[in-house]
Amino acid sequence: MDTGSNTATRTEDFGTLGDGTAVHRWTLERAGTRVRVLTYGGVVQSVEVPDRDGSRTGVALGLPDLASYLKYTGPYFGALVGRYANRIGGAAFELDGRTCHLTRNEGRNHVHGGALGFDKRVWDARETADGVELSLVSADGEEGFPGRLEVSVAYTLDEGGALRIAYRATTDAPTVLNLTNHTYWNLAGADSGSALGQRLRIAAGRITPADAESLPTGELRPVDGTRFDFRESRPVPGEYDHNYVLDEGTSGPAAELYDEASGRVLTVTTTEPGLQLYTADHFDGEPFGPCAGIALETQHFPDSPNRPEFPSTVLRPGQEYVSTTVYGFSAR
């Protein structure tokens, strides 16, 4: 249906969970961009944008049906991740003198919200002027996190066809929160094979180096003279799963991905202080091969609840969590 703006929006059934819960798919279309979002996991199932010749192709890795999303949960394809994106060491943190113990779902650690994170929940949905807003309530103690959390995430398309994801949340008790979207991008096309070689620029002069468990050491290490330096656009090689400390006060995008063959350009603008670059080297061919997509996850830093020197992820009653990331699309 036409929402009264320039964004065309429609919804349809996308299957049913084993307990009878219905899942729906929302399609948003504007200025040459078509985006499909699921109420299951807040998943961005597809993003279709034109190349330099006007040919529109899907550039986000997605799965064809609900059964596939229930089967392939590990990669978090396009999912809305929370309550805490990335890792919390030892699956525990201290807040106001209280130790909070979380679900361990990666060895001894907690990752991406736990066993039943936001990526596996069915969200309520309502139509908005330029897209769809998803919402849910996360109960006090869910996956070990304190506080009853009310969350909303709006997916909208602007007049240029950019995808805006706007997160909001409130809590009734002190807690920690770090939300992101886990879309994998391949600007040559979602079914084109490896995304390596596409050119990447990240406005970050430092990273948070990690140990063998992918937990940050606490250091903010300069990228100068290292393989982590993407301050100038260059082809992406493999073997990246690292958090970048975005430069403050940068006027341009936090990141830009460019496919020379198609001319497609993806820009990422965010209010978040970090960006996780993940090249998906460990994909095993089912359903996608190694490095089939590049994840650019805007976020706070990993293990921030245990790292007081990092930007805080604490949310308290009376405060509102607000975060926005915009994915812009063009061709040259």
Instruction: Check residue 140 and report its DSSP letter.
Output: T
| Closest by Cα among 182, 197, 180, 240 to 62 | 182
57: CB partners within 8 A, 6+ apart: 48, 49, 50, 51, 189, 190, 262
The three-point CA angle 47-49-54 to 5° equals 160
Residue 203, φ and ψ in degrees, nearest 5: -80, 70
Helix, strand, coil share (%) of the chain residues, nearest 5: 5, 45, 50
Strand order in the sheet with 199-202: 124-128, 131-138, 149-157, 163-171, 321-331, 264-270, 255-258, 199-202, 234-235
Positions annotated as catalytic residues are: 182, 297
**What would the two tokens of residue 40 be?**
């299951």
Residue 37, φ and ψ in degrees, nearest 5: -125, 135
Pure H helices in 174-282 = none
